[in-house]
Amino acid sequence: MTPTVECCLRNLSPACRAAARRREIDLSVAPCRERCDACRAGPFVLVDGDLQTGDEFGALLDAAIEADAADVSASHDGSDAAVASAPSGRDDAAVGAASRDDADPSGADP
């Protein structure tokens, strides 16, 4: 999944746009992201809504790409198998007994 990268128009130079193009990142640019202190201080981006600041826009984009790659590899490391084999929290024997009890209100065995 590609991260969502947002920035302010004021903070975006032609070099910043070129760095994003080279890294094949789509930027969401708005006149103001209401992060004025970060915007005045230097390069910043919002990556999936989280503020990232640094000295160079390209380094911020590289960090966003690396974080995205780490998230993707973590989701494919076999952890899905652990989730699939986790107990469901229900007692199948109790469910079976309840369904048998529901089938014959007298409680008599067939």
pLDDT tens digits for range 41-99: 999 999 999 999 999 999 999 998 888 888 777 777 655 444 444 444 444 444 444 44
pTM across the whole model: 0.61
Q: Is the pLDDT of residue 17 over 80?
A: yes
Q: How many CB atoms lie within 10 A of CB 45?
A: 30
Q: How far is CA 83 from CA 64, 76, 78, 80, 88, in A?
A: 27, 12, 9, 5, 10
Number of Cα atoms under 13 Å in the Cβ half of residue 34: 1
Give 41 or 102, the one with higher predicted confidence.
Answer: 41
Neighbouring-strand partners of residue 7? 29
The reported pLDDT for the residue numbered 108 is 53
* Rounded distance between C-alpha atoms, residue 98 and residue 64, angstroms: 52
